[in-house]
Amino acid sequence: MKFFESPRREYVLAVLLVLIVGLDFFSMHAVRVLLFVVAVIGALPTAYAALLSVINRKITIDTFNAVALAAAFITGEVRSAALIDLMLISAEILDWHTERRTQNAVEELLKLKPLKAVREIGKKTEEVPVDMIQRGDILLVQNGGRVPVDGVVTFGRAFINESSVTGESVPVEKLPGETILSSTLNESGVIKIRATNVGQDSTIERMASLIKTASEHKSKAEKLSDRFASIFLPLVLVMGAVTYIVTKNILMTASIFLVACADDMAVAIPLAM
């Protein structure tokens, strides 16, 4: 559902919540009604994620936060609900920015990959698309050119700048018999290499694939937060039930859920990432 995944919606809601929460201190009835409406809209993504968790028979951090939001609305603590919304929306914005930076990193990495290479056939050379290079092909890498694929130096001598792959800023001398990585820069010299890893098996492609895979899977911290929620939420529910049985005070019971709300953890994880 695109409504629940739009970064623009997150920005708009965050700005509205900040403005309305500020105006709410003036005790204007119209502002309080608007605050309630925006707070409900802001709570929808968390409620939707919590519903999916329940359907999948899991207790996640979203389930935890949905319980806190429900307690806030039931007891009329709309301002508290709005502040929780604001924290959770901030977490979504941070998470979105992290994902965008990952995508930009992959794009910048793949820009280093040359589109063409000079292949040697007998005593002749020909320029071919990098995608046509096969393992075992002999390639010519001239001064100022980028290495098209992973390979082994078979002739010549060159100083290769590997900073784009290894982070090492000092050029490395490459001699016959030594391995060389794709997308590294030949700063001086002329060499011939025998292709070893081509296409998706080249270093640059595997790096891009690893970055994408890492961004698509939950980090250890995120998995830890879900485990925390699965243990802590039942305890909080029991504490709330006991509090209500003893005190018969719904506000005090709701306070337990609001204090225990894991919105701070929801912000901390994407910020750390």
What are the tokens at 94?
A: 């941070």
Farthest-apart Cα atoms in the chain, separation: 93
d(CA 68, CA 40): 13
Mapped onto helix, strand or coil, the DSSP state of residue 92 is: helix
pLDDT at 4: 43
pLDDT at 19: 65
Residues in Cβ contact with 168 at an 8 Å cutoff, skipping those fewer than 6 apart: 162
Give the model confidence (pLDDT) of 222-266 as tens digits: 666 667 767 777 888 888 888 888 888 877 877 777 777 666 666
Per-residue model confidence as pLDDT tens for the chain (273 residues): 444 445 555 666 666 666 666 655 555 566 677 778 878 888 888 888 889 888 888 877 788 788 888 888 888 888 888 888 888 887 777 777 777 777 787 777 777 788 888 998 888 889 899 888 999 999 999 998 899 999 999 999 999 998 878 888 889 999 999 999 888 899 999 999 999 988 888 888 888 887 777 666 655 556 666 677 677 778 888 888 888 888 888 778 777 777 776 666 666 766 766
pLDDT at 163: 85
- Alpha-helical segments (H) within the chain: 7-24, 29-55, 61-74, 78-111, 163-166, 203-216, 220-247, 250-260, 263-272
pLDDT at 217: 63
Roughly what angle, to the nearest 10 degrees, separates helices 250-260 and 220-247? 170
Name the amino acid, one letter, at 242: V
Name the amino acid, one letter, at 162: E
d(CA 125, CA 174): 22
Residues in Cβ contact with 180 at an 8 Å cutoff, skipping those fewer than 6 apart: 147, 150, 151, 152, 153, 160, 174, 191, 193
pLDDT at 57: 83
pLDDT at 23: 59
pLDDT at 96: 78
Give the model confidence (pLDDT) of 175-194 as tens digits: 999 999 888 899 999 999 99
pLDDT at 112: 78
DSSP characters over 160-195: EE-HHHH---S-EEE-TT-EE-TT-EEEEEEEEEEE
d(CA 173, CA 160): 6
d(CA 87, CA 138): 57
Considering only CA atoms, which of 63, 66, 60, 58 is closest in space to residue 84?
Answer: 66
d(CA 108, CA 207): 12
pLDDT at 3: 41
pLDDT at 24: 57
